Amino acid sequence: MIFQANLNEAFRSLASAKQRTALALIGIVIGIGSVIAMVSIGSMAQQEALRQFKELGTDVLTLEKDFLPDDDARAASTARGLNLNIVMGLPTAVPAVADVSPYTQGGGGDVFHMGKSLTQASLMGVTASFFAMNKLMIAEGRALSDLDSNSKFVVVGAQLASQITEHSGLPPTGQQIRMGDHVFTVAGTLAKASQAALRRFDPNTAIMVHITSALRLPGSEISLVNARVSGGISNDKAAADIQVHLSRQAGFPGVRISSPEELIKQMESQMRMYTLLLGAIGSISLVVGGVGVMNVMLVSVSERRREIGIRRALGARQSDIKGQFLIESVILALLGGLLGVVLGELAAWLVCRFANWQFDVSFAAIVLGVGVSTAIGVFFGIYPASQAARLDPIVALRAS
Amino acid sequence: MLSLQGIRKSYKIGPSEVEVLKGVSLDVASGDLLSISGPSGCGKSTLMNILGLLDRPTAGHYTIQGKPVAYDSDDELSNIRNRSIGFVFQQYHLLPKLTALENVTLPMVYRGASKALMLERGMRTLKLVGMDGRSHHKPSELSGGQQQRVAIARALAGSPQLILADEPTGALDARVGQDIMDLFLQLNSDQHITIAIITHDSHVARQCRRQAVMRDGELHE
């Protein structure tokens, strides 16, 4: 009964000082909102990354030329790129490797079709295995094969393909496009590919030529090799086998091999840093919000000294007065918390829309928001409530 | 029923101690209608605060129905205030956001009474003071005399042993003040309610059966 009376009293009191209540809420709303947004966006980003990994396969190793810290050694190794024949020989020489797909990346510029500038595109040199390795689908025409060696047939990304059609009204396959001094013939187009963080290129705006043609361009070298591990063999074992084989090849620079597990770990630790940072910002605004609640409660206590005196004269115990003000501060913080949850989820939803991620309402985040705001209400409400309870009834009754 | 024995109260003002009550003894019997009057500064208010358990005496004993008051427990003092004392203040001291009925039942909230009991008792006491027709009005919608009637109903609602009224007519004009006095007289004669009125108004004091006068910290009857 006392609880219910105190609850009614709290709502009455907060409603009668609307402006003050609203201002006190802002801090809590921003604090809880940013914590909720952070937790939701963080967990969705992680899920998105995992989804991408699963899409591209967890059995694909990435080989990169190792940059040595020493300047001379680096100069020497840059001079010698990865040798295409040695890379292509990997599946034969190392049984742990099922398939390889090296590619070159670099160069690019404005693409012209029928004399009209379309868009910026990057030029990639790829092998026939590239499309399957990267889960890229052909929309029209054909993929590149090893018969396209040294030719100027290309596969273009979805965005570029649709621009060609839009601008000329012709199907892109068979069209001639120009980039710099080179004229390429479109052999096929790619279906629109989702943005995967793991791909180090954007297939939608790429022009893909056979790697043998790309390597003939000055300064061009293999930038990255994807290697699919044979079934039943662990990624670590395959990586070790590749290292042993490559170290025996004369003139082959050192390579760094990373497995998807490592990349996931790297990403997770990056995510943790990000979460920690946002968490710190959220906590600071929560403290600020809590101080706001305390401030409002102190004002409320000093404005209602006479009321406290009357209640004490009528038989309210110190604990009753304490409870009354504590309930008020918890309700204030909880109100802010609920608004913050709504705001945070809204922010997460917006981020998801722009990033094209799947949005889920995070129930853990809601529980967290409600729990944290209640705790803030109690923590920052205890001091004003104790002050109210400790007031001398005679002094309180005399207050104007 | 209520008994003060050799009550002393002194305050420290700077380095010196001022004794406001110099050994006050008083017995209030059930059904008494008592006035305590005296010039301002004589210690009336201090005596009232001690009678109402809002203040602790420096020395002396206070027993209520034979039981000595336990001054070491604030919760116990709150309980006695809640059950044994009904306050009526000069400035009415109603809570402005509550209706007349909610104000009247407030003391019962603090003893955990049920809603039904509070409604029943609240309406009954409002009827006793002639305010049952205004039960859902806020204090700001009532005149001074009406507010004081609601305040008296609040004091009665908890059925205390003693109604302690501090200058109950002080904020009212003479006619309305007399109405309130008439209400006290009627409650005392019809309902046998024990009432102590602290006042500096000799006209009010004269209407009480028992009259005590405070002078220089001492009580004379």
Neighbours of A213 (CB within 10 A): 22
Of A306, A307, A316, Cβ closest to residue B110: A316
Please name which of A293, A398, A313, A369 lies closest in space to residue A33, comparing C-alpha atoms.
A369
Neighbours of A130 (CB within 10 A): 23
pLDDT at A132: 87
Token digits of residue B39: 């010039």
For chain A, list the strands marked E by DSSP: 60-65, 97-113, 116-126, 138-141, 153-156, 176-179, 182-190, 206-210, 222-229, 255-258
**How would you class B1 by CB atoms within 10 Å of its CB: exposed for 0-12, middle for 13-18, buried for 19 or more?**
middle
Token digits of residue A80: 């010698």
Does ipTM exceed 0.90? yes
Tell me which chain B residues have a C-beta less than 8 angstroms from the C-beta of A317: 74-75, 78-79, 110
Token digits of residue B128: 């006793």
The dihedral built from the CA positions of residue A333, A334, A339 and A341, taken in this order, carries a sign that is positive
Tell me which chain B residues have a C-beta less than 8 angstroms from the C-beta of A312: 54, 78, 81
Q: What is the pLDDT of residues A350-394, one digit of tens each?
A: 988 887 777 888 788 788 888 989 999 999 999 999 999 999 999
Subunit contact B107:A314, Cβ cutoff 8 A: yes
How many A×B Cβ pairs under 8 Å?
Answer: 64
* Helices then strands, each counted (H, E), chain B: 7, 10
Q: B59 with B24: CB under 8 angstroms? A: no
Q: Which residues pair with B215 in a beta bridge?
A: B218
Radius of gyration for the alpha carbons in chain B, expressed in angstroms and rounded: 17
Letter for the amino acid at B63?
T
pLDDT at A255: 84
Chain A: residue whose CA lies nearest to B79: A315
CA distances from A58 to A63, A229, A259, A276 (A): 15, 9, 8, 28
The dihedral built from the CA positions of residue B17, B18, B22 and B26, taken in this order, carries a sign that is negative
Of B75, B110, B113, Cβ closest to residue A314: B110
Subunit contact B115:A1, Cβ cutoff 8 A: yes
List all residues of chain A from 276 to 335 with a beta carbon under 8 Å from chain B: 306-307, 309-320
Residue A75, by phi and psi: left (phi above 0), alpha (psi -120 to 50) or beta?
Answer: alpha
Token digits of residue A61: 């190793």
Q: State the Cα–Cα distance between residues A85 and B33, nearest whole angstrom.
A: 117
Q: For chain A, give the mean pLDDT.
A: 84
pLDDT at A70: 53
pLDDT at A49 over 80: no
Please name which of B128, B152, B147, B127 lies closest in space to residue B137, comparing C-alpha atoms.
B147
Q: What is the pLDDT of residues A96-113, one digit of tens each?
A: 888 999 998 877 788 888
Q: What is the pLDDT of residues B112-165, one digit of tens each?
A: 888 899 999 999 999 988 888 998 999 999 998 899 999 999 999 988 889 999
Subunit contact B106:A314, Cβ cutoff 8 A: yes
Q: State the Cα–Cα distance between residues A323 and A319, nearest whole angstrom.
A: 6
Contacts of A9 (CB under 8 A, 6+ apart): A324, A327, A328
Tell me which chain A residues have a C-beta less than 8 angstroms from the C-beta of B83: 315
Mean pLDDT over A185-190 rounds to: 91
Decide if A386 touches B, using CB distance below 8 A: no
Q: What is the pLDDT of residues B38-57, one digit of tens each?
A: 887 788 888 999 999 999 99
Token digits of residue A393: 């009834």
DSSP H or E stretch at residue A355: helix A318-355
pLDDT at A374: 92
Q: State the Cα–Cα distance between residues A383 and A377, nearest whole angstrom.
A: 11
Q: What is the pLDDT of residues B84-96, one digit of tens each?
A: 999 999 889 999 9
pLDDT grade for A197, boundaries at 50, 70 and 90: low
Share of chain A above pLDDT 90, in %: 21
Token digits of residue A296: 């409002």
pLDDT grade for A308, boundaries at 50, 70 and 90: very high
Percent helix, percent strand, percent coil in chain A, to nearest 5: 60, 20, 25
Subunit contact A306:B93, Cβ cutoff 8 A: yes
**For residue B26, what is the DSSP state?**
E
Angle at A185 (CA atoms; ends A184, A191), nearest 5 degrees:
105
pLDDT at A72: 54
How long is chain A? 400
Angle at A218 (CA atoms; ends A213, A219), nearest 5 degrees:
110
Contacts of A199 (CB under 8 A, 6+ apart): A56, A134
Mean pLDDT over A72-89 rounds to: 68
The end-to-end CA distance of chain A, in Å, is 29
Q: A121 with A202: CB under 8 angstroms? A: no
Please name which of A195, A213, A73 lies closest in space to residue A146, comparing C-alpha atoms.
A213
Q: What is the pLDDT of residues A128-177, one digit of tens each?
A: 998 888 888 888 889 888 888 888 899 999 888 888 888 888 888 888 88
CATH of B2-220, one of 3.10.310.10, 3.40.50.2300, 2.70.98.10, 3.40.50.300: 3.40.50.300
pLDDT at A166: 86
Q: State the Cα–Cα distance between residues B91 and B170, nearest whole angstrom.
A: 8
Gap from B91 CA to chain A (nearest CA, Å) = 10
Output the pTM of the full model: 0.72
pLDDT at B85: 92
List the domain boundaries for chain B. 2-220
Chain A: residue whose CA lies nearest to B96: A307
Chain A: residue whose CA lies nearest to B55: A394
CA distances from B152 to A97, A399, B85, B134 (A): 96, 21, 12, 14
